[in-house]
Amino acid sequence: MADTAHPLSVLKQLQLESALQLLEQAGALLPDAEPYSVDWLQGVVDALADLSNRDPLTGLGNRRSFEMALEREIDRVARAGEPALLLVLDIDHFKAVNDQHGHALGDEVIKSVAVAVAGAVRPMDTVARIGGEEFGVVLPNCPPSFGPTVAERIRSEVERSSVALSMTERIGVTVSLGGAFAPQWVRSSPLLWAERADRQLYRAKAEGRNRACFEPQTESVVSADEKSMLFAIIPQEGA
C-alpha cells in the first residue's frame, strides 16, 4: 500500500533540535517561512552549510572554505588564464602575546587582525583563518602589478590597529606576508600554490617581519611538479 503521508508531516519527523540549537547559539537567523516547510528546511540547510565554512572566533572563512576557494581559482586560472594571487600571513610574535598577556587577549589580537585584513581587500576576495594565528587571502583576477599594493595595504592596516590591554594601554600588532601567483594555463594544485606562498612568508619572517615578500616576477613561477602536469602526455581515447 502506497504511503499517503503529507509531506509536511514527514518533514516534522526530522530530528532537528541539535541543529537548531547550534544555529541559535551561533546567532544565525532562521528563514521567515512556515516551520518544516520546504523553504524553511532549505533555509536551515543553507545556514548550517554557511556555519560549517566559518571560523567561530573571527567570522571569517575557515580552512575548509579556504581550500575550496583555492580549488576554484586553480581551475579558473587553468581554463581562462586569469591572474590569481594567494597571500598567506602570520601574526608576528603571537606566542609572546599569549605567554605575556594570556589567551583571552590573544583571541582579541586575532579578531583585530581579521577585521583589518577583511577591510583591506575586495568583497570578491576570500579571507580565511587557516591556523591559530595564520590567515589566507585568495584574490581572483589580481594582476601581478597589484599584488604588492594589496599586501602593503593589508600590512599597514594591521599595523595601524591595536588591542586594549587596559583603560590606558594598548598593544600593537604586525603581520608578515608571503605572496604567490598561480601559474597561468597550468592545471596546478592548491598544495603547490600554498607551498609557494608559505616559502615567501618564511622569507618575510627571516628578513625581519612586518613585511611582505613575493616570488620574483622575472623568474618562472612554474615548479618542476607543475611543469610535469603541464607537459604530461594525456592518453587518447582508444589508444
DSSP state of 181: E
β-pairing, 175-181 vs 212-214, is parallel
Helix (H) or strand (E) holding 175: strand 175-181
Cα–Cα dist 197/83, whole Å: 15
Measure the CA dihedral 16/22/26/31, to 10°: 0
Catalytic member of 67, 108, 133, 226: 133
Q: Report in angstroms the alpha-carbon separations of 21 from 15, 25, 47, 108, 227.
A: 12, 6, 12, 26, 49
Cα–Cα dist 225/216, whole Å: 19
Alpha helices in 136-184 (DSSP H): 147-160
Helix (H) or strand (E) holding 106: helix 103-119
Annotation says 133 is catalytic:
yes
Active-site residue list: 133
